[in-house]
Chains A and B, each alone.
Chain A
Amino acid sequence: MEHRLVPEHHLVSEKDEGTILEGLKVHRDQLPRIRRNDPCVQLLERKHGPIEEGRVIKIVRLSETSGVSVAYRLVVGR
């Protein structure tokens, strides 16, 4: 996960989720998804303990044109 092509993944704390969703004016299920068994999520689980379905992951990508671009994904099962 140290590779430069893998963007940073962060677990969004449960209390921040509300503000983020409100800011985007979306329901939780309108977010793009990420699987619980995604290597990046599993890595985060090692740090934060088990991550339940329905939590939100923040992904920070580096962009040539805009510096950083931030995306969010909803954790789903399987």
Chain B
Amino acid sequence: MLRGVSKRIKSIKFALLSPDEIRKMSATKVITADTYDDDGFPIDMGLMDSHLGVIEPGLRCKTCGGKVDDCPGHFGHIDLAMPVIHVGYVKEIKKLLQATCRKCGRLLLRDEEIRAYEKEMEALDKIGGTKLDKTIMAKETARDAAKRQICPHCDTEQSKITLDKPTTFREDGHKLTPKEVRERLERIRDDDLPSMGINPNVARPEWMILTALLVPPVTVRPSITLESGDRSEDDLTHKLVDVLRINQRLRENRDAGAPQLIVEDLWELLQYHITTYFDNQTSGIPPARHRSGRPLKTLVQRLKGKEGRFRSNLSGKRVNFSARTVISPDPLLSINEVGVPVEAARELTVPLHVQQYNMDWVQELVKRGPLPEGDGYIPGVNYVIRQDGRRIRVTDKNAETVAETVDIGYIVERQLQEGDIVLFNRQPSLHRMSMMAHEVRIMPFKTFRFNLAVCPPYNADFDGDEMNLHVLQSEEARAEAKILMRVQEHILSPRFGGPVIGAIHDHISGGFLMTHRDSKFDMEQSSRILSFVGDLKLPKAGIVEDGVDYWTGKQLFSLAIPDDLNMVFRASICQNCDTCDKEDCESDAYVKVVDGEIISGTVDEKSIGAFNGKILDKIARDYGSDRARTFIDQATKFAIGAIMVRGFTTGIDDEDIPESEKMKIAEILQKAVDGVSALVQAYKEGDLEQMPGRSLEETLEVEAMKKLGRARDDAGNHAGKHLGLENSAVIMARSGARGSMLNLSQMAGCVGQQAVRGERISRGYWNRTLPHFPKGDLGAEAKGFVKSCYKSGLSPTEYFFHSMGGREGLVDTAVRTSRSGYMQRRLINALEDLKVKEDRSVRNTADTIVQFKFGEDGIDPSRSVQGRAVDVDDILRDVLGPKKFATLPDERVVRRYGELEEGMEMTEEEAEGRSGGD
């Protein structure tokens, strides 16, 4: 179906406008720089002449007779007193001047050469050469011709043509006027042009020198009337006024026989004005400015760059039926939902097409008016659109009467209601998960709300982030969004073949607290945890102690897992012991799920986390998106229930270590610092043993870095000894909720060596980093080693070095994001219209094949297992059945996951780093 498309573009041809054509298409000649007369009416043959179109309502166009909306606007023209070079074509003009004879105007090639090039050009046409191929060909021809010193046709010696940017041509140093240039171009013969890639029928080279200037319609450069009654003209109009004034003066002076110098000056001024009229950022000349000092926005500026016509009006448009506000979290919403503030819901509407079947319901709706009263939120109606397209605003007063008139064929714009499908988006939209379909929940207050498990795909946090919401306006769009774009359909990412939606932060701490070792909950606690999910029955108590019923956390969490799920893997907290004790693991890190029951192990990031959640991954893969959605909803609610029942907090005292240990750490660090001094001493005395392939200086640096790195680790380990799993900060680090042990050891033990460009800090003053140190000091402290920990605080010099290292990190991210953004844009522009066809081939809009099979293997990356086509273990389990599969050596199974861990997995930090955080 063409849907209102009555014509199709088959091809586009670019040509030059000849002066004749300009005059032919011109509605009026413009001769005066004045715009309006004293009564405010446009002056005839002025820049606002009413032949050029109308911008004021009520007036009629003198060319077509149309009113404001009917008249498309018409071009006019200015006859230039003297010819002027068009800046857009200086390159071509230069090429032509260099390639042709200064006397006879022939191409500086022998006839047979010209014919040969012409043939090649034609051949290029036949095999479908692109514009680029032709440009390259033409350049080759021109280069060959320009090499000739003497014309093969008239034996005239050629002189050197140079271009003085932006628009002055010189021949052996003395100026060529645009008039002379034009005369030369006129002399070029039509038959010489095709070999240069020019079709003389539509583009004579002399047309690149302007003798008439096209004046765009007033609709292109409307003037605005300010509140004060003053009229403010468009930048283009201002520029055209300049052109007209100078043109007028030039003509008068020339006709009056003024001295050559004055005429030339005016001529150059005209050239300047016309050049800046086309492009006000032409290099080599100052930009024309407004009275206020602001540079004028002329033709090129309207098109170019991010704010230009292409990127901001054609590639991207502003839309209706959308809303934007701050986001905040709501763990009780399903991942598929989005909370919309009442105020937004009352503005956003869904069109209802009135038919027999919904007539009564729609009339009822309209009767409510735009602000229905009653319990909770009741959707009303803002507008009714009649068959003829007239919009009627529904108010409390007219609601009743409008409802009466509603008839079949009317469109009623109903306010948003619970369950509507909307698109939700956070910029930068780097992947398809940046825009997903949610179901609406109307809520009080002023923010959009959604489940925390959906933060990773949007890369959102709640430090003030805003997001956009779009209401779909057609039945097809809603169906498509629901099937293809719903959040639950994007749990598995096509980026790395694992889940992107899943538990984060407190969900993971909660899962840990709930299931680690033998954590148990009494009747009240268990009921509370389960009540977050609702509609769940408390199973039989797992433990009875002193006649009191207790439920294990593993037991409760298992309620969220499908009953026939079986799997084995290692949790985040796994210590990677040399020999794994499996079910009897010291740290309860061996997760074993049999028939949907957690037999052993702790639920943490590796189980339910976004990016690495194995249980989540398996459910999404084997049980489908519906089951995966319920799993995420329930598991995260359990985790939050558990964390709230137990309570969880972290503070600076989580990094407390005993005084004795602090002494020990200080000792270790002092030893390392002394060690480095010894190395420096050895280096200075020439006793340092040089490493193969390294200079003496490099050897020292490497040794020092090694020594200090080890010291930092040692200090960290000593501090870590006193930070056990009863410590909240450690729970978060080990379970993968947030932070790392390195962060902790930097807080409690030692921050360590600061580096700029991967080396110890060496820049600053002459022969030293800071004036606090002696010149030539190569010791640890003088080169950026931070002995202190964050908790005790840094010394002034340490603080300075730390800032240097920190600054590098900031600069890196800034550079990375801008570079990857540009790369992304280029990739998208190149790939945006490729499509996978029914036969799985990838084709472009011309239907030519780009790939014979999508990705050359036909594999949907979002259905792959961490990028691999199949999961061998899974197939084995299917074929052998869970019983027999269990008899296979577990080592093999676990190791397979182990392999993946090292090579392919992505941490949250990494993922953040890839797209650049907020």
Q: Is the CB of B127 within 8 A of A30?
A: no
Nearest CB in chain A: distance from B610 CB, A = 25
Contact of A65 among B847, B852, B868 (CB under 8 A): B868
Stretch among B159-167, B462-470, B486-494, B856-864 lining the A interface: B856-864
Residues of B within 8 A of A66 (CB): 853, 856-859, 869
Residues of B within 8 A of A76 (CB): 127
Q: Which range contains the number of A residues in contact with the other chain?
A: 10 to 19
CA distance A72 to B848 in the complex (A): 12
CA distance A65 to B866 in the complex (A): 12
Q: Mark B825-863, 1 if CB is under 8 A from A, else 0.
A: 000000000000001010100111111110011110000
Residues of A within 8 A of B848 (CB): 26, 29-32
B376 within 8 A of A: no
Using known A-B contacts A24-B841, A25-B839, A77-B127, determine if residue A65 contacts B849 with beta carbons closer than 8 Å: no
CA distance A76 to B126 in the complex (A): 11
A19 within 8 A of B: no
Residues of B within 8 A of A29 (CB): 128, 848
Q: Mark B589-615, 1 if CB is under 8 A from A, else 0.
A: 000000000000000000000000000
Nearest CB in chain A: distance from B861 CB, A = 10
Residues of B within 8 A of A5 (CB): none
Nearest to B858 among chain A residues (CB) is A66
Residues of B within 8 A of A24 (CB): 839, 841, 849, 852
Residues of A within 8 A of B851 (CB): 71
A9 within 8 A of B: no
Contact of B859 among A26, A31, A65 (CB under 8 A): A65
Nearest CB in chain B: distance from A57 CB, A = 13
Residues of A within 8 A of B853 (CB): 66, 69
Nearest CB in chain B: distance from A29 CB, A = 7
CA distance A66 to B859 in the complex (A): 9
Q: Is the CB of A69 within 8 A of B868?
A: no
Q: Is the CB of A61 within 8 A of B856?
A: yes
Q: Mark A43-78, 1 if CB is under 8 A from B, else 0.
A: 000000000010000000101011001111000110
Q: Mark A15-31, 1 if CB is under 8 A from B, else 0.
A: 00000000011100111
Q: Is the CB of A63 within 8 A of B857?
A: yes
Nearest CB in chain B: distance from A71 CB, A = 5
Secondary structure of the B contact surface, majority rule: loop
Contact of B847 among A30, A61, A69 (CB under 8 A): A30
Q: Is the CB of B127 within 8 A of A65?
A: no
Contact of B856 among A31, A32, A63, A72 (CB under 8 A): A63
Residues of B within 8 A of A25 (CB): 839
Q: Is the CB of B869 within 8 A of A65?
A: yes
CA distance A76 to B868 in the complex (A): 36
Nearest to A61 among chain B residues (CB) is B856
Residues of A within 8 A of B859 (CB): 65-66
Nearest to B128 among chain A residues (CB) is A29
Nearest CB in chain A: distance from B140 CB, A = 13
CA distance A76 to B127 in the complex (A): 8
Residues of B within 8 A of A31 (CB): 848-849
CA distance A14 to B226 in the complex (A): 74
Residues of B within 8 A of A71 (CB): 851-852, 856
CA distance A65 to B839 in the complex (A): 19
Q: Is the CB of B128 within 8 A of A32?
A: no
Nearest CB in chain A: distance from B139 CB, A = 16
Using known A-B contacts A65-B869, A66-B857, A69-B857, determine if residue A32 contacts B847 with beta carbons closer than 8 Å: no
CA distance A71 to B849 in the complex (A): 10
Residues of B within 8 A of A70 (CB): 852
Nearest to B126 among chain A residues (CB) is A77
CA distance A2 to B370 in the complex (A): 75
Nearest CB in chain A: distance from B705 CB, A = 37
Q: Pick the most buried of A24, A25, A65, A69: most chain B CB atoms within 10 A of its CB.
A: A65
Nearest to B855 among chain A residues (CB) is A65
Q: Is the CB of A26 within 8 A of B849?
A: yes
Nearest CB in chain A: distance from B847 CB, A = 6
Residues of B within 8 A of A72 (CB): 852
Q: Is the CB of B841 within 8 A of A65?
A: no
CA distance A61 to B856 in the complex (A): 9
Nearest CB in chain A: distance from B853 CB, A = 6
Nearest CB in chain B: distance from A8 CB, A = 14
Nearest to B838 among chain A residues (CB) is A25
Residues of B within 8 A of A63 (CB): 856-857
Nearest to B851 among chain A residues (CB) is A71
Residues of A within 8 A of B841 (CB): 24
CA distance A65 to B859 in the complex (A): 8
Nearest CB in chain A: distance from B856 CB, A = 4
Using known A-B contacts A29-B128, A30-B849, A76-B127, determine if residue A69 contacts B839 with beta carbons closer than 8 Å: no
Residues of A within 8 A of B843 (CB): 30
Nearest to A73 among chain B residues (CB) is B849
Residues of B within 8 A of A65 (CB): 857, 859, 864, 868-869
Nearest CB in chain A: distance from B800 CB, A = 50
CA distance A32 to B843 in the complex (A): 10
Nearest to A76 among chain B residues (CB) is B127
Nearest CB in chain B: distance from A19 CB, A = 15
Residues of B within 8 A of A26 (CB): 847-849
Residues of A within 8 A of B123 (CB): 77
Nearest to A72 among chain B residues (CB) is B852
Nearest CB in chain A: distance from B316 CB, A = 31
Residues of A within 8 A of B858 (CB): 66
CA distance A61 to B857 in the complex (A): 10
Nearest CB in chain B: distance from A6 CB, A = 16
Nearest CB in chain A: distance from B864 CB, A = 8
Nearest to A54 among chain B residues (CB) is B127
CA distance A25 to B857 in the complex (A): 19
Nearest to B864 among chain A residues (CB) is A65
Nearest to A25 among chain B residues (CB) is B839
Nearest CB in chain A: distance from B126 CB, A = 10
CA distance A69 to B869 in the complex (A): 14
Residues of A within 8 A of B839 (CB): 24-25
Nearest CB in chain A: distance from B287 CB, A = 44
The 16 listed contacts between A and B (C-beta, < 8 Å) are: A24-B839, A24-B849, A26-B848, A29-B128, A30-B843, A30-B848, A31-B849, A63-B857, A65-B864, A66-B856, A66-B859, A69-B857, A70-B852, A71-B856, A76-B127, A77-B127
**Which residues of A come within 8 Å of B, CB atoms?**
24-26, 29-32, 53, 61, 63, 65-66, 69-72, 76-77
Further pairs besides A24-B852, A30-B848, A65-B868: 12, Cβ < 8 Å: A26-B849, A29-B128, A30-B843, A30-B846, A30-B847, A30-B849, A32-B849, A32-B850, A63-B856, A66-B853, A76-B127, A77-B127
> Which 5 A-B pairs give the minimum distances between C-beta atoms?
A66-B857, A69-B856, A65-B857, A30-B848, A65-B869
